[in-house]
């Protein structure tokens, strides 16, 4: 068992009152009703199947916890990431809107997968910035539905992740800057060239599409709830970049379980902790600099405004983990029972949980004990196979 350290920012009921029901105004962002629509649509996509929910019984015993559930997204749609659900779903919604604006008819998912509106769709250009996985999902959605795609990546995105996007037919533009700079460049170029931005982060003047991306993510949560067979977790450790996934998980479980909802702990790399710093400041804070981390999918310095709306009310705690946690937790899962393929960004929740259980004071603060049932999401598999092998075999 690796000995890991973490930094905890605890707010308790000052930040999130467990007795508070899901606020009505948040249902404009995410709701169980809207999630059910996403589940209905995505389950019709070719090769859809629910991903596994593993019970990590051996690890739970070692940490003196009752249960650890690990939602394994390492093979989702062959893209090896939960993000396959969000970007492609938002692409489908944008194409439908453009079709309706053009011909005044509502297109079904069967229409998009067929050739009924190919003459309209083929000239539409979708674009976004990415650390890798979101851009791969958007590119895959564009390929599946037949529109064009331009993806922006920053200087630290690996060549393997760039190639994976290009293999899906997208044009890739690499900029000399960090993730936040690539978001700004993609938005600027989209305005100049009449492209549709499908981003997983929201900012002033851009709110609607990230909601659709987050709704796609809730498909895996609906699967997990069925797989847990009426059990309710006591804790959720969830990794965050801009916060879109974390907000989706928080909102879904909050509305579903109300006062029984689990304690919600946000986990970030120590060098890219925009949510933790925002929580400390009580308002969104931008983390400047290179944001360098092995957890490439979490290398974000600016929180999504939509995510902050939910997390500033619904999250209980904010943790950061160091780079030393990444490879050791990847190896732990790869050599476990069952053996799990977990990429660099997938292990943040597991790492934070292990670190908290190994620190008596932190465990007490978080209420982790022999009756705790912990839910984590393994958000990606080996999205950079060469790097994965290097880290697991180190």
Q: Given 146, 180, 206, which residue is the final one in a domain?
A: 206
First to last CA, the chain: 16
Cis peptide leading into residue 338 (ω within 30°): yes
pTM of the prediction?
0.93
Same domain, 233 and 110: no
Instruction: Report how many domains make up the chain.
Output: 2
Q: Given 206, 223, 248, which residue is the final one in a domain?
A: 206
Same domain, 193 and 217: no
pLDDT band at 203 (very low <50, low <70, confident <90, very high): confident
The winner for highest mean pLDDT among 7-11, 28-32, 388-392 is 388-392
1 lies in some domain: no
Same domain, 269 and 130: no
Same domain, 139 and 283: no
Q: What is the DSSP letter of 360?
A: H
pLDDT band at 291 (very low <50, low <70, confident <90, very high): confident
Q: How far apart, in whole angstroms, are the C-alpha atoms of residue 53 and residue 23?
A: 29
Of 189, 172, 256, residue with least CA distance to 222 = 256
pLDDT band at 131 (very low <50, low <70, confident <90, very high): confident
Residue 52 is part of a domain; what is its CATH number? 3.40.50.1100
Query: Is the model's pLDDT at 155 over the cut of 60?
Result: yes
Same domain, 145 and 258: no
Mean pLDDT of 237-261: 95
Q: How far apart, in whole angstroms, are the C-alpha atoms of residue 58 and residue 144?
A: 40
Mean pLDDT of 216-238: 97
| Least confident span in 12-26, 96-110, 213-227, 315-329 | 12-26
Same domain, 234 and 263: yes
- How do strand 317-321 and strand 6-10 relate by DSSP bridges? antiparallel
Same domain, 164 and 218: no
Mean pLDDT of 306-324: 93
Supply the range of the domain harboring residue 235: 6-81+210-392
335 lies in some domain: yes
Same domain, 29 and 162: no
200 lies in some domain: yes
Q: Given 161, 188, 206, which residue is the final one in a domain?
A: 206
Q: How far apart, in whole angstroms, are the C-alpha atoms of residue 145 and residue 218?
A: 21
Task: Please name the helix (run of DSSP H) or strand (run of DSSP E) that holds residue 213, with its range, or none.
Answer: helix 208-227
Q: Which two tokens stand for residue 273?
A: 């902790």
Contact 138, 151 (CB under 8 A): yes
Residue-wise pLDDT tens digits, 325-351: 999 999 999 999 899 999 999 999 999
- Residues with catalytic annotation? 83, 131
Same domain, 57 and 132: no
Q: What pLDDT, on a 0 to 100 scale, did the predictor assign at position 17?
A: 65
Q: What pLDDT, on a 0 to 100 scale, did the predictor assign at position 14?
A: 47
Q: What is the mean pLDDT of the chain?
A: 93
Contact 138, 130 (CB under 8 A): yes
Buried b (16+ CB within 10 A) or exposed e, 31-47: beebbeebbebbeebee
């Amino acid at each position: 068992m690796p000995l890991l350290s973490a930094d905890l920012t605890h707010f308790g009921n000052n930040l999130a009152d467990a007795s508070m029901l899901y606020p009505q105004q948040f249902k404009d962002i995410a709701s169980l009703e809207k999630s059910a629509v996403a589940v209905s649509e995505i389950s019709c996509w070719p090769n859809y199947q629910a991903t596994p929910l593993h019970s990590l019984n051996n690890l739970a015993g070692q940490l003196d916890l009752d249960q650890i559930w690990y939602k394994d997204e390492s093979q989702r749609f062959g893209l090896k990431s939960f993000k396959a659900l969000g970007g492609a779903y938002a692409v489908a919604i944008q194409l439908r809107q453009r079709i309706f604006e053009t011909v005044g008819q509502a297109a079904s998912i069967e229409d998009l997968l067929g050739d009924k509106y190919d003459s309209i769709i083929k000239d539409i250009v979708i674009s976004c910035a990415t650390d890798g996985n979101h851009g791969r999902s958007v590119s895959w959605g564009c390929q599946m539905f037949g529109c064009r795609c331009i993806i922006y990546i920053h200087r630290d995105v690996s060549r393997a992740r760039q190639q994976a996007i290009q293999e899906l037919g997208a044009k890739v533009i690499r900029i000399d800057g960090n993730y936040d700079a690539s978001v700004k460049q993609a938005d600027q170029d989209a305005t100049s060239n009449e492209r549709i931005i499908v981003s997983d982060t929201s900012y002033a003047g851009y709110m609607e599409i990230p909601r659709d991306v987050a709704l796609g993510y809730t498909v895996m949560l609906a699967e997990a709830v069925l797989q847990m067979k009426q059990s309710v977790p006591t804790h959720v450790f969830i990794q965050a970049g801009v916060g879109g996934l974390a907000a989706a998980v928080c909102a879904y479980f909050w509305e579903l379980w109300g006062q029984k909802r689990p304690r919600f702990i946000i986990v970030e790399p120590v060098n890219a902790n925009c949510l933790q710093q925002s929580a400390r400041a009580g308002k969104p804070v931008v983390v400047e600099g290179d944001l360098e981390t092995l957890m490439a999918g979490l290398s974000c310095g600016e929180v999504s405004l939509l995510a902050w709306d939910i997390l500033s009310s619904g999250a209980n705690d904010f943790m950061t983990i160091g780079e030393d946690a990444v490879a050791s937790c990847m190896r732990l899962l790869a050599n476990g029972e069952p053996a799990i393929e977990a990429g660099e960004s997938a292990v943040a929740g597991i790492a934070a949980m292990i670190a908290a259980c190994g620190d008596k004071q932190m465990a007490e603060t978080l209420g982790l004990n022999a009756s705790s049932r912990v839910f984590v999401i393994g958000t990606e598999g080996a999205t950079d196979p060469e790097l994965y092998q290097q880290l697991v075999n180190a």
